[in-house]
Amino acid sequence: MYTIDLHLKNETVTTAIFNLRIAIKLARKSKDKVLCLIVGYGSTGGTHKIKSGILAELKNLEESKQIKGYIVGLELDIFNVKYQKLRGKEFIDQDCFKRKNPGEIIVIL
């Protein structure tokens, strides 16, 4: 699983989205099927803008069939409807289930 931190200090939404696109390309190049994005909890320090921007971009990428799907770490639960509908969920690392980190977004490539 390829992991990248998109909420570095003084990061802008535009830069975070640019870094997201680069991370997707690098993950595909290294034959990874899952990408873990660290975006922060989204409650303080301006990270809510980055998290919202990244989620909006991922929605666009999913609709244009550039990614299979995505899910926020907190929603990683076998009883969650969004998880049940997620394509490629078998590739998600079990450590993600243990963490259930709301500051992470798991992307299925």
β-pairing, 69-72 vs 104-108, is antiparallel
Q: Give mean pLDDT, residues 85-101.
A: 89
Average pLDDT over residues 83-108: 90
The band of 96, judged by pLDDT with boundaries at 50, 70 and 90, is confident
Question: Sorting pLDDT into bands at 50, 70 and 90, what band is 17?
Answer: very high
Residue range 36-73, pLDDT digits in tens: 999 987 666 556 888 899 999 999 999 999 999 999 99
3-state secondary structure of 17: helix
The pLDDT assigned to 64 comes to: 96
Q: What CATH number did the domain enclosing 92 receive?
A: 3.30.1370.110
pTM here?
0.90
Residue 20: pLDDT over 90: yes
Q: How many domains does the chain have?
A: 1
- The boundaries of the domain holding residue 67 are 2-108
Q: 74 vs 12, 26, 95, 96, CA distance in Å?
A: 24, 25, 13, 9
- Check whether 30 has a pLDDT greater than 60: yes
In this prediction, residue 49 carries a pLDDT of 86
